[in-house]
Structure 1
Amino acid sequence: MKEKLEEITGVSGVRTAFIYFNDGEVVFNSAPQGFDKETFEEIAKDVVQMTAIFDRLATPITEYDLKFDNGRVIAYTQHNYTLIILCEPGVSLAMLRLTVNVAIADMEADKKFQKRVGKIETTRRSFLVRSNMDPESWSLVETVS
């Protein structure tokens, strides 16, 4: 799994990549300067909550590209986990998608990875709980419900 994250971080313009399992475990290869595990968890929870909202709207999306002034957060959602990539603004999306598609296919074929993913019973919708959200996010959930 970590070797697949290394392949992704080898793409020019990628700062780091990590996997967030729906049960809360974060797996990453290397953290960029200024980031710690709590920062990764915060980013991941926000992405998973956003994904759960789209799931609730019956419009599931598997790729998210969030653009900011100083970079991008690109996320690929799977059933029990999310692959999250922090990138420079000008990252080559074609090269990144190619690398990610191969990495996900390889991970999905890995029996050890499948065993880990198979243990997860938590769904993305469980992240849409009022106690886990700030008031503004909860208001959005109520609006789309």
Structure 2
Amino acid sequence: MPASRWTALYALTIGVMVLILAWFASLVPIEDGQRDWTGQLVEGGWMAWSFPVALFFWLIAATLLTFTFLALRFPETPRRGVLGIRTTRGDRLFITLLGAAFLNIAWLGFSGQPQWQGLLPSLIWAIGVFRFV
């Protein structure tokens, strides 16, 4: 595929993702003249759809799109890391997400600290996985 088509595809995808994020932000309820960022986006819904939850799923979708474009544009061969298994970028992403989920659950269960602080161990885990696995 010519470079101009890749550029157009990237721009279109980024534009759509930004529009989706702006739509999520426009749904944030306003209470007492201020945005309630943790308020329900869908009143009476079956799931607690707040902006942070929508942002989380948006980030997962953006990551998957990024890794898809990387795989299409720059194919890679699997490499063997410290675990002794051959992994690709997608495998390492899956291991990272799974490990980060368990780290955040452990942080929630064993730490009295705010949940957002569990991001640091998750980022350290992600760097380690992508560098050594």
Between Structure 1 and Structure 2, whose CA radius of gyration is higher? Answer: 2
| Greater percentage in helix | 2
Query: For the superposition of Structure 1 and Structure 2, which TM-score range results when normalised by the shorter chain?
Result: under 0.3
| Greater percentage in strand | 1
Q: Give the TM-score, by structure 1 length.
A: 0.22
Q: Give the TM-score, by structure 2 length.
A: 0.23
Q: Larger RCO: Structure 1 or Structure 2 (Cα < 8 Å, ≥ 6 residues apart)?
A: 1
